[in-house]
Amino acid sequence: MAIQWERREQEWTVQWFKLKYPNVIIAASANGGTRNVREAANMKREGVLAGMPDLQILCAGHHYHGLFIEMKAPAGVDHVKGKVNMIQKSIINQLNMAGYYAIVCWGYEEARKVIDWYLQGDSNDATVNK
């Protein structure tokens, strides 16, 4: 199932990130998971926004204010490739229009490349995925 793979890929990304960039803030959105109606309503009132990308890196890079990554499972032998829904696409577009770098990453390896490009200015052009 893609959701479980997305969670695993995101966990790997966060573990790697904390080791490589210990002085940079990375945070995850509270979207995802199963909640009862009351808890979901409380979270919405508190500001949880549907479609918000999974990971936020709170550091300016290149000419952007911060990096937002929507993690999706890459196609695999035992699971299908994740899908980006219309709400997620809309939020990513709004973030990009507001001066952030928001992107979908298909797995841990792609997320690492984008993060390194963003924080270190690697010569690999991560913008090809946009």
What pLDDT digit, counting tens, does each position of 13-29 carry?
A: 999 999 999 999 999 98
How much is the pLDDT for 46? Answer: 74
Dihedral sign of CA atoms 103, 104, 107, 110 in order: negative
- Mean pLDDT, residues 1-17 taken together: 87
Give 5's DSSP letter.
H
What pTM was computed for the model? 0.84
CA distance 82 to 70: 11
Q: State the pLDDT confidence band at 10, using cuts at 50, 70 and 90.
A: very high
Contacts of 113 (CB under 8 A, 6+ apart): 122, 124, 126
Question: Residue type at 109?
Answer: E
What pLDDT digit, counting tens, does each position of 56-112 carry?
A: 999 999 899 999 999 998 876 566 678 899 999 999 999 999 999 999 999 999 999
Contacts of 57 (CB under 8 A, 6+ apart): 17, 24, 25, 26, 66, 67, 68, 69, 115, 118, 119
CATH code of the domain covering residue 124: 3.40.1350.10
Which structural domain, as residue segments, surrounds residue 24? Answer: 2-129
**Structural domains counted in the chain:** 1
